[in-house]
């Protein structure tokens, strides 16, 4: 499959897990109607993000919570699409911030966020493993929000064979320097795509204090045109080999350099 049609859900999650699940379920149906292959939700879309409608995670009933994840997986399967779900998990008494790849015929894969903000560390435990999943002939790397700040983390994903990177985020909140993050963060994503010659999609929260809307960048680091359908941002993404061979050479050189210096 030479291209993927990817949608990002424009959603501001809160502490009401059932209501969040209903929003995501409705978006799955809408995405399928628009021929989407993969739907991305924002970071912590099912659980709610700490400090943005949720104070903590002490009240989570994990049996019930797992049921909501299973429901989203089932509804995505029925709709014939995959979902990258912003969620959380508990393992060995540690709480993780996750991207859960589920639905369609894909193997369910859970990625634990590797790079935590100072605020994240009040709630979550960091992980250290890159994650790449196979879907319709694509190798797709999973990243979450603050991961974009750290080149080695992005490099690990691309060097694991990713044809594209799917990133979910909660890029929102106060900016100590007015409008700096609004300007710099989109450039950061463009740079990640360009330096690895690897397309990416970033699904951001709809929170009123967000620094940017969801977006996608091609292997050149150029913005991919957005099709807006109600609360969906839709992008048609092509592999790097659909572009000038120069970009494939950049990718090969970047991977070689990263492996030599890892």
Q: Looking at the 3D structure of the chain, how many domains does it have?
A: 1
Mean pLDDT (the chain, rounded): 95
Structure tokens at 176: 């100590």
Cβ-Cβ contacts under 8 Å for 99 (sequence gap 6 or more):
43, 84, 85, 86, 87, 110, 111, 113, 131, 142, 143, 144, 166, 168
CATH number at residue 142: 3.60.110.10
- DSSP3 helix / strand / coil % (the chain, rounded to 5): 35, 30, 40
Q: Give Cα 27 distance to the centre of its chain.
A: 16
Spatial distance between the Cα atoms of 195 and 254, rounded to a whole number of angstroms: 7
Host domain of residue 222: 3-260
Around Cβ 101, how many Cβ atoms within 10 Å? Answer: 25
Q: What single string gives the DSSP state of each residue in 126-175?
A: ------EEEETTEEEEEEEGGGGG-HHHHHHHHHTT-SEEEEE---BS--
The 10s digit of each residue's pLDDT in 161-191 is 999 999 999 999 988 888 899 999 999 999 9
188-206: average pLDDT: 97
Q: Report pTM.
A: 0.96
The 10s digit of each residue's pLDDT in 212-259 is 999 999 999 999 999 999 999 999 999 999 999 999 999 999 999 888
């Amino acid at each position: 499959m030479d291209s993927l049609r990817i949608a990002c859900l424009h959603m501001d999650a809160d502490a009401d897990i059932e209501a969040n699940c209903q929003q995501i379920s409705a978006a799955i149906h809408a995405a399928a109607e628009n021929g989407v292959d993969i739907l991305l939700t924002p970071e912590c879309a099912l659980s709610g993000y700490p400090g943005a409608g949720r104070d903590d995670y002490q009240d989570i009933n994990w049996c019930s919570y797992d049921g909501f994840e299973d429901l989203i997986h089932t509804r995505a399967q029925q709709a014939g699409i995959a979902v990258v779900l912003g969620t959380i998990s508990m393992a060995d008494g540690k709480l993780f911030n996750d991207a859960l790849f589920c639905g369609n015929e894909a193997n369910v894969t859970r990625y634990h966020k590797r790079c935590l903000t100072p605020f994240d560390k009040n709630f979550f435990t960091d992980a250290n493993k890159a994650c790449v999943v196979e879907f319709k002939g694509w190798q797709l790397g999973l990243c979450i929000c603050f991961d974009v700040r750290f080149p080695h983390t992005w490099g690990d994903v691309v060097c694991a064979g990713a044809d594209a990177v799917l990133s979910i985020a909660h890029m929102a909140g106060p900016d100590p320097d007015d409008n700096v993050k609004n300007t710099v963060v989109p450039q950061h994503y463009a740079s990640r795509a360009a330096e690895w010659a690897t397309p990416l999609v970033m699904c951001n929260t709809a929170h009123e204090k967000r620094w940017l809307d969801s977006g996608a960048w091609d292997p050149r680091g150029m913005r991919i045109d957005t099709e807006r359908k109600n609360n969906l941002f839709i992008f048609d993404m092509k592999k790097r080999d659909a572009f000038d061979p120069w970009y494939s050479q950049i990718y090969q050189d970047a991977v070689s350099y990263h492996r030599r210096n890892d």
